[in-house]
Structures are given as C-alpha cells and as structure tokens.
C-alpha cells in the first residue's frame, strides 16, 4: 500500500509528490512528467484531455546540477520580483524572494540563467528591433567622430595657409566642397504641430546634408593620403622623407596619369602596391622569356648562360660593326641610304632604281623579287600564246605583295593591263 502523504504516477508508479500532472476530465489520474510528455493513456484517460500542474514547490527548474539549488517556488518569486521592481533593484528582489537569498545571489542567478543561459540565448535576439541608435558611435551616424573630429592640421606656413584659405585649428578651408551645403539645414526647426510629411522632408534634408559632409571629408582624406597640398604648393615633403625607390619609366608615368581617377577608390599605399605588382609581373615575364630562350638554344644550366650571353653580345657587336661599315661604304659610293637594308643582298645590282624602291618599300629581297618577276612574265607570255599554265608563285607571296608587284609590272610595261 502506498505510504501516507505520498503521490504516485498511475502509469509507471513512480513517486510524483514534488511535481505531477492531474487530468481535469478523469478522476484520480495523476501522471509524472515523463509519462505525461510521452502521451501515456490508461483507462478512459486520453492524451488530449485537459491537465493541471500540481507541485509542492520543491523541485528545481534547472536540474540538480544548477548552482544554488533554487526551487520552482523561488524561481516564480524571482520572476514576479523582476516584473515588479525592474532589472537592477536586487535588494528589493532578494527581499521578495525570501530571507534565504542575498542580493548578490539573486543577481548572479538571474544573469547566469535568464540572460546568458540557454533561455536567454533562445529568447533575446541578436539585434533588438526599435532600439535607439547611438549616432555618436565610430561606425556611422550623422554625429560619428569620423565626421566631427578634425584631422591634425597641415604642416604649412602661415603664408601658405593664407594662399589656400586654410584654417588649421578647424582643418577647414574658406571655400569648401559644395560651399552651400549648410543651407539645407540652416532654416530647419522641429515643431510639435509638424505633420508626418513635413517631418520626413526635414529628415531628407538632414540626410542630404550628412551625405555632403561625408563627401567633403572623403575629399580631404584623399588630399591628405596622396599629399596633394604640398604638391600644389611645389614642395613635396612627403616624397623627400621616403626612401629612394626604383626609377619610374615613361610608360609607367603615362599609365599612372591614365589611372588617376582610381585615386578616389584606392589609398596611396594600395595604388603604389598595384604598380609595384605590375612592375614585378613585367620583370618576371621578361625573366621567363629569357629562360625559354636559353632552353631553345640548348642551355639547361645557369652557368652556361653567362658564356652564351657573352658570345651573343660579340655576334651582335660584329653585326653592328658590319652594318656601320656597309652604311659608310654606301655613302662613300654615293648610294641612297634608303637602300641600306637590301643593298648588300644578292641580286641588288640587277634591279633598276624603281625596282630598288619597290623592294625596299615591300621589304622584299632582290632575289625573291627577281624570281616572282620571272614567273609572272613567263605566265603572261604563255597566256598570250594560248598555252594554258598554272600559277606557280612562291608561298611567301601574299595577296598584297602580288597586287603591288603586278601593278608595278603593268605600269612599267612588262605585262599588259588585261593580263594583270
């Protein structure tokens, strides 16, 4: 027989004196939390029946491992106290819970279980809606320190300050970017009888003014970063303080001028890093081409490359000396300098002056011209005699060269116009 004063689950016969669920539709049906959560049914009792929570106030909500051993009745008193006295009034809350709990214990238990515990993480969102925005935070807002805090003053003389209209203590200029921006808000005032449309219009004016302030500050930052003020004054102090760098080529200077619009999107360091990377890429590509040239010439070791380069320089020197001697000899012989590229080639003495000009303009060697000329004239004569012939022009003769040579031979009278 069950002991007097104790209650037992009608399904599993476990003791349920601390906490039990009583059916409001069936008589004498009380279940333990485990059987109730599993949906136990016995006799006429069904899982969808109404229920009533019956407890003695002695069980713990957070389990026996929770610190302090807070009972369910103390938890209920704690929630009533936080609603009645508000967060932070720990002494009044401790008096409401009972004399067994100190204000420090009440605070630690509420913060650890209801705020930083699983219940707090599940109920308190990461971003609280309708929360007041702190406009003085560094991350943004109209009153952000990035807009209201002036930068350190420029290191320029008083005469240069007057020339620029610069006010160092405010880091402002007499004529700022969008000088009339303040007129957007100079006449604004908030009245209690303003309608919603008027309030939104005033907010739009403030937003436009803030955007203009941000653009003004952005331009000042760009001028500081790229050292534009000393450059305008003709004394670039920043470049004198920098260590000596590599020599900038003419092509790189022209490219920097073309990419100047990117200044507003990149800092000075990022811009310099971009060109340093492009220079390194150019040097690596040149080194790769050099190594590939070594490999094509059968060089597989770096020790052999020095000997190869020395021999190559000697060959180029001999070619330069030979070309210089030929040009000198040509001038001495009274030859035109425009034939210097072909005058030393075989067959040059067979050409007329007009043919020399043609070969020089087409960059065609005299021997190849003579061959093409012979084939074209021979084909022309065979066609005039009625002998069929196929074109046997060399493969190096493209359509442009063929047309130029045919026109020249026609104008010179070697072939007739109908044949060309």
Q: What is the DSSP string of 251-314?
A: HHHHHHHHTGGGGGTS-HHHHHHHHHHHHHHHHHHHHHHHHHHHHHTT--SHHHHHHHHHHHHH
Mean pLDDT of the chain: 79
Rounded Cα distance, 316 and 319, in Å: 5
Rounded Cα distance, 31 and 14, in Å: 9
- What share of residues in the chain are helix, strand, coil (percent, to 5)? 55, 5, 40
pLDDT of residue 2: 44
pLDDT of residue 288: 92
Does the pTM of the predicted model rise above 0.75?
no
Rounded Cα distance, 74 and 70, in Å: 6
Across 117-144, average pLDDT: 65
- Which token pair is 180? 């009339």
DSSP summary character for residue 350 = G
User: Which residues, including other chains, have CB under 8 Å from residue 378's CB and lie 6 or more apart?
Assistant: 389
| SS3 label, residue 62 | coil
- Choose the weakest-confidence range: 146-155, 325-334, 368-377: 325-334
pLDDT band for position 284 (cuts 50, 70, 90): very high
**Tens of pLDDT, residues 402-420:** 888 888 888 877 777 665 5
**Tens of pLDDT, residues 75-95:** 888 889 989 988 888 999 999
Indicate whether 270 pLDDT > 70. yes
**Tens of pLDDT, residues 51-81:** 887 776 566 667 665 666 787 778 888 889 9
Across 195-207, average pLDDT: 89
With 0-12 / 13-18 / 19 or more C-beta atoms within 10 angstroms meaning exposed / middle / buried, residue 114 is middle
């Amino acid at each position: 027989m069950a002991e007097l004063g104790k209650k037992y689950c009608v399904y599993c016969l476990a003791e349920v004196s601390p906490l039990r669920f009583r059916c409001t539709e069936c008589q004498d049906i009380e279940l333990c939390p485990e059987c109730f959560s599993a949906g136990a049914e016995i006799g006429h009792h069904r899982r969808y029946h109404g229920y009533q929570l019956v407890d003695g106030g002695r069980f713990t909500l957070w389990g026996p491992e929770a610190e302090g051993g807070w009972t369910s009745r103390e938890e209920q008193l704690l929630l009533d106290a936080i609603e009645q006295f508000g967060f932070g009034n720990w002494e009044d809350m401790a008096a409401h819970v009972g004399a067994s709990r100190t204000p420090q214990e009440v605070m630690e238990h509420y913060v650890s279980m209801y705020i930083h515990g699983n219940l707090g993480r599940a109920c308190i969102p990461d971003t609280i809606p309708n929360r007041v925005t702190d406009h003085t935070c560094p991350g943004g807002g109209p009153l952000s320190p990035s807009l209201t805090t002036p930068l350190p003053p420029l290191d320029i003389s008083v005469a240069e300050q007057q020339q620029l209209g610069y006010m160092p203590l405010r880091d402002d200029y007499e004529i700022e970017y969008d000088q009339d921006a303040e007129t957007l808000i100079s006449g604004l005032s908030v009245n209690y009888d303003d309608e919603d449309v008027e309030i939104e219009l005033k907010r739009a004016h403030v937003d436009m003014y803030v955007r203009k302030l941000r653009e003004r500050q952005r331009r000042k930052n760009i001028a500081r970063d790229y050292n534009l003020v000393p450059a305008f004054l003709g004394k670039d102090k920043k470049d004198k303080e920098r260590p000596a760098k590599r020599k900038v080529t003419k092509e790189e200077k022209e490219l920097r001028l073309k990419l100047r619009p990117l200044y507003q999107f990149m800092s000075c360091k990022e811009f310099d890093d971009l060109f340093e990377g492009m220079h390194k890429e150019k040097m690596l590509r040149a080194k790769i081409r050099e190594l590939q040239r070594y490999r094509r010439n059968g060089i597989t070791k770096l020790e052999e490359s020095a000997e190869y380069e020395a021999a190559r320089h000697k060959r180029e020197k001999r070619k330069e000396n030979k070309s210089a001697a030929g040009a000198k000899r040509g001038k001495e012989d009274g030859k035109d300098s425009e034939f210097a590229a072909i005058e030393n080639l075989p067959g040059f003495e067979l050409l007329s002056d007009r043919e020399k000009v043609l070969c020089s303009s087409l960059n065609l060697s005299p021997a190849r011209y003579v061959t093409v000329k012979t084939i074209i004239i021979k084909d022309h004569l065979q066609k005039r005699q009625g002998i069929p012939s196929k074109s046997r022009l060399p493969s190096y003769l493209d359509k442009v060269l063929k047309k130029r040579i045919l026109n020249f031979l026609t104008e010179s009278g070697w072939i007739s116009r109908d044949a060309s």
